[in-house]
């Protein structure tokens, strides 16, 4: 009987300890790290000798809360002149955390790649080449040539950022590779800009 009392006392002590230590932590605010809130396409005209001329045209797509149900992103229309050649650079930021994601993409150039699709390419209104430093196929910097004769003034361009793909997959070296999914990886960005051609 004495033993029993001792045992039950130990058990009780253990239980009290267990139950007392069992309390959830207070929740903390978590800043979503990988969220992209703003994608800016910057165009600057290139003259016949491939020198940058004129002012920079910026067109932005933004979703201030990142991915949040019920909110849709606002996307500005890209407005460019027919028959001209532009250098396009892409800036990607997380405004919630004040992060420049462009730099991260550049650092991980081997695992990222932009693809450019949509009617502007299907109807040959645009032609595009990668122009990133070091000759990597990345797409943060490209050369876009707008055709001088387009059947319509209103069109669209789809911008896709793939992460973790096999960059040496046959066809993946083209910036307009439509079967990018076959190269593996996943999509980080997929948005369509309206395009107005003057």
Partner 1 sequence: MIQKAVMLCLGMALSLSTLSAQQCDLVLRGKVLHLENNQPIEAAYVWLPESSIGVATDANGNFTFRNLCPGKKTIQITFIGHKEIKQSIQLSAGTSNLTFKMEEEAVALSGVEVHGHREAVQTTTAVSTLYGEALLQSRGESLGESLKRVAGVTTFSTGNTISKPVIHGLHSNRILILNNGIRLEGQQWGAEHAPEIDPFLADELTVIKGAETVRYGPEAMGGVILVNPPALPTTDQSKTELNLVGHSNGRAGNVAVSHSGGSNIIKGLGYRIQGAARRAGNVRTPQYFQGNTGMSEVSGSAALGYSSTKLGTEVYYSYFTTQLGILRDSHTGNLSDLLEIIENGAPFTQADFTYTINNPKQVVTHHLAKVKAHYHLNPSWKLNFQYGFQQNNRQEFDRRRGDLNARPSLDLELFTNTAELFLEHNLKSQWTGSMGLNLIQQANSNLPGTGVTPLIPNYDLVNAGVYLMEKYLKGPLELEAGLRYDYRTLSAARYIGNDLQEANLNYQNGSAFLGGMYQLNANLAFTSNLGTAWRPPNVNELFSQGLHHGAAAVELGDADLTSEKSLKWVNSLEYETKRTSIELTGYTNKIQDYIYLNPTGETFVSLRGTFNVYEYLQADAFFYGFDLSGTYNFSDHFKGYAKGSIIRAKNTETNRYFPFIPSDRMDWGLSYEFGKDTERQNRLTLSQVLVAQQSREPDFDLAPAPPAYSLVNVGFSKKIQLFKHDFSVSMQVNNLLNTEFKEYMNRFRYFTADMGRNFQLKLNYQF
Kindly write out the interface string for residues 27-56 of this chain, putting x where it contacts partner 1 by CB under 8 A and - elsewhere: xxxxxxxx-xx-x-----------------
Start-to-end C-alpha separation, the chain: 97
Kindly write out the interface string for residues 90-129 of this chain, putting x where it contacts partner 1 by CB under 8 A and - elsewhere: -----------x--xx-xx---------------------
Q: Which of 8, 47, 77, 123 binds partner 1 (CB under 8 A)?
A: 8
**Does the protein bind partner 1 through residue 157 (CB under 8 A)?**
no
Q: Count CB atoms within 10 A of the CB of residue 128.
A: 21
What span, in angstroms and rounded, lies between the C-alpha atoms of 68 and 176? 29
Residue 80 tokens, joined: 């460019």
Residues making up the chain, counted from first to last: 198
Cα dihedral sign, 155-41-126-139: negative
Closer residue to partner 1 in complex, CB, 127/176? 176
Residue 168 tokens, joined: 């040496």
Q: Which residues are near partner 1 by CB under 8 A?
A: 3-4, 7-8, 11, 14-15, 18-19, 21-34, 36-37, 39, 61-63, 65-70, 72-73, 101, 104-105, 107-108, 163-164, 166, 181-191
């Amino acid at each position: 009987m004495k033993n029993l009392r001792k045992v039950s006392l130990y058990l009780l002590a253990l239980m009290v300890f267990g139950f007392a230590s069992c309390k959830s932590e207070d929740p903390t605010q978590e800043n979503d790290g990988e969220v992209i809130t703003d994608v800016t396409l910057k165009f600057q005209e290139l003259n016949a000798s491939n020198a940058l001329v004129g002012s920079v045209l910026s067109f932005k797509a933004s979703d201030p809360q990142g991915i949040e149900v019920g909110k849709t992103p606002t996307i500005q229309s890209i407005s460019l002149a027919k028959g001209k050649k532009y250098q396009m650079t892409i800036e990607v930021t997380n405004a919630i955390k004040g992060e420049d994601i462009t730099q991260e993409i550049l650092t991980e150039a081997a695992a990222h790649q932009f693809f450019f699709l949509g009617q502007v390419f299907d109807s040959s209104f645009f032609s595009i080449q990668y122009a990133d430093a070091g000759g990597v196929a990345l797409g943060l910097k490209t050369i876009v040539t707008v055709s001088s004769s387009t059947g319509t003034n209103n069109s669209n361009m789809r911008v896709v950022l793939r992460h973790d793909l096999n960059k040496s997959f046959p066809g993946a070296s083209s910036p307009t590779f439509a079967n990018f999914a076959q190269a593996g990886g996943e999509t980080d960005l997929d948005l369509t800009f309206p395009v107005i051609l003057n």
